[in-house]
Amino acid sequence: MTRPWTRRLAILALAGALVCLYAGVRLPIIELKRFFVFEDGYSILSMIATLADGGEWLLALIVGLFAIVFPLAKIAALGAVLTRFVSPDRKALIARLVDALGKWSMLDVLVVAVLIVAVKITGLQKAATQPGLYLFVASIALTFAASRLAKRLH
């Protein structure tokens, strides 16, 4: 694959990651059914708000950092690496930052998976995944793909 196509493909993957992240954070990621009548859908944003309203500020901050801030920082950093306006020295520094942030990318998915399993084990509620979770995972995968493509360029 030639370098211009690699750069274009990486930018396209990064744009897709940003769109998927936005939708994945706002759309419900889990739906809980209680007593087969009541249904509640929760997005990442609503979970953070619920935690904050319940006085769980530290947990809300941690989820907010790993679900919103880190993915956005990684997308922004990759965008900087893919531009021609950043010096090669800075690109190397940014690439190390992207690798460090990438290690935390799947933490949110793990937390949601544990939540779904915990709800199903109790038997009081039924939990079902929603489109927001899949879009959030797609954002992580597209960011990973953009990162791999960006490494090919340097």
| pLDDT digit string, tens, across residues 140-154 | 899 989 988 888 876
Q: What is the CATH number of the domain that holds 41?
A: 1.20.140
- Structural domain range at position 25: 3-153
Domain count, the chain: 1
- Among 85-89, 93-97, 114-118, 124-128, the minimum mean pLDDT is found in 114-118
- Cα distances from 35 to residues 19, 28, 119, 122, 127, in angstroms, run 35, 20, 13, 13, 12
CB atoms within 10 A of CB 4: 9
Give the model's pLDDT for residue 22.
96
Q: How confident is the model at residue 18 (pLDDT cuts 50, 70, 90)?
A: very high
Give the model's pLDDT for residue 124.
57
Six token digits for residue 4:
């211009």
CB 116, CB 129: distance < 8 Å: yes
CB atoms within 10 A of CB 26: 14
Give the model's pLDDT for residue 37.
63
Integer Cα distance of 54 and 47 in angstroms: 10
Q: Helices 131-153 & 3-26, crossing angle to 10 degrees?
A: 160
Q: Which residue type is seen at 141?
A: A
Q: What's the pLDDT tens digit per position in 76-106?
A: 988 888 887 777 778 777 777 777 776 666 6
Half-sphere exposure of 106 (CA within 13 A, CB side): 5
Q: Locate tokens 């493909």: which residue?
A: 9
